[in-house]
Structure 1
Amino acid sequence: MATVTLLQDHQLSPEARAVFDDIRAKRGTDFVNNFWRALAHDPKTLKRTWESAQAVMAPGALDPKVKEMLYIAVSVAHGCSYCIHSHTAAARAKGMTEAEHAELVAIIGMAAETNRLVTALGVPVDDAFLADRADPA
């Protein structure tokens, strides 16, 4: 349940409206999701977050679909249901198949399990895994 009202377009400040206009233009849709509507109460945070999200999720060394899949994994790790759903939809829109999604979920589950085991057992990091000691070959 939201801790703030989700602002509708007629309730936006001029600064928030400008960000919503940019979201719509860049995404090519009239839909502005609830995350942005909640952030619209603070236009500075809305603008900063929108600009940062664009920069991080833009095409780069990682494929945009891979970036969405990474976002899903981090969202699962942090228990953010909203982000899991929104980024699963985005990954599917960028071509993630059901087989890729199933494999992603299996990897997330395995990583969570082995992370807990390593933490519980206090396993020290192998010298070979340290950046300053790893064999560059």
Structure 2
Amino acid sequence: MATVPLLSDAAAGAEALAVFDDIRAKRQTDYVNNFWRALAGDPALLRATWERLQVVMAPGALDPLVKEMVYLAVSTANGCSYCVHSHTAAAKARGMTEAQHGELLAVIAMASQTNALATVLGVPVDERFMA
């Protein structure tokens, strides 16, 4: 259950609606998802988040599928169900196969286990790994 209202187009102010329109145009869709609608109560935060997301997720040294898969891994580690579902869908839309998804989930699970073990055991970082 949302802790803030998910603003419809009719309820969103002009600033938020302008961001919604930009989302629609850049994503070539009529749909604005709930994450953006939840941020619409704070138009400055909505705009800043949308603008930063476009920069970070744009093609660069990492291709867009890799970025979606990293986003999915971090979202899983952070326990964000919304982002797990949203970025799984985005990764699949960018070509993630079922085999890749399965391997990604295995890596996430393995990293979670070994991170917990290293943390609880207080394993010091090897000197050769220090940058």
TM-score class, shorter-chain normalisation, is over 0.9
TM-score w.r.t. the length of structure 2 is 0.99
Letter aligned with residue 7 of structure 1: L
Distance (Å, rounded) in 2 between the aligned partners of 1:118 and 1:51: 37
Is residue 37 from structure 1 mapped to residue 37 from structure 2 by the alignment? Answer: yes
Is residue 87 from structure 1 mapped to residue 87 from structure 2 by the alignment? Answer: yes
Q: Structure 1 residue 15: deviation in Å?
A: 0.5
Distance (Å, rounded) in 2 between the aligned partners of 1:106 and 1:88: 15
The share of aligned pairs that are identical, in percent, is 70
Question: Tell me, which stretches of 5 or more residues in structure 1 are unaligned?
Answer: 132-137
Alignment deviations for residues 108-133 of structure 1 (CA, whole Å, 9 cap, x no partner): 000000000001111100011011xx
Q: What is the 5 A alignment of 1:57-96?
A: 57-96=57-96
Q: Structure 1 residue 104: deviation in Å?
A: 0.1
Q: Structure 1 residue 12: deviation in Å?
A: 1.2
Q: Look up the match of 1:5.
A: 5
Q: Number of matched residues?
A: 131
Letter aligned with residue 49 of structure 2: T
Distance (Å, rounded) in 1 between the aligned partners of 2:116 and 2:11: 45
The Cα RMSD (Å) is 0.4
Q: Look up the match of 2:119.
A: 119
Task: After the TM superposition, list the runs of 4 or more consecutive aligned residues in structure 1 that deviate by more than 4 angstroms.
Answer: none
Q: Look up the match of 1:134.
A: none
TM-score w.r.t. the length of structure 1 is 0.95
**Which structure would you say has the larger RCO, counting Cα contacts within 8 Å and 6 or more residues apart?**
2
- Higher CA-based Rg: 1
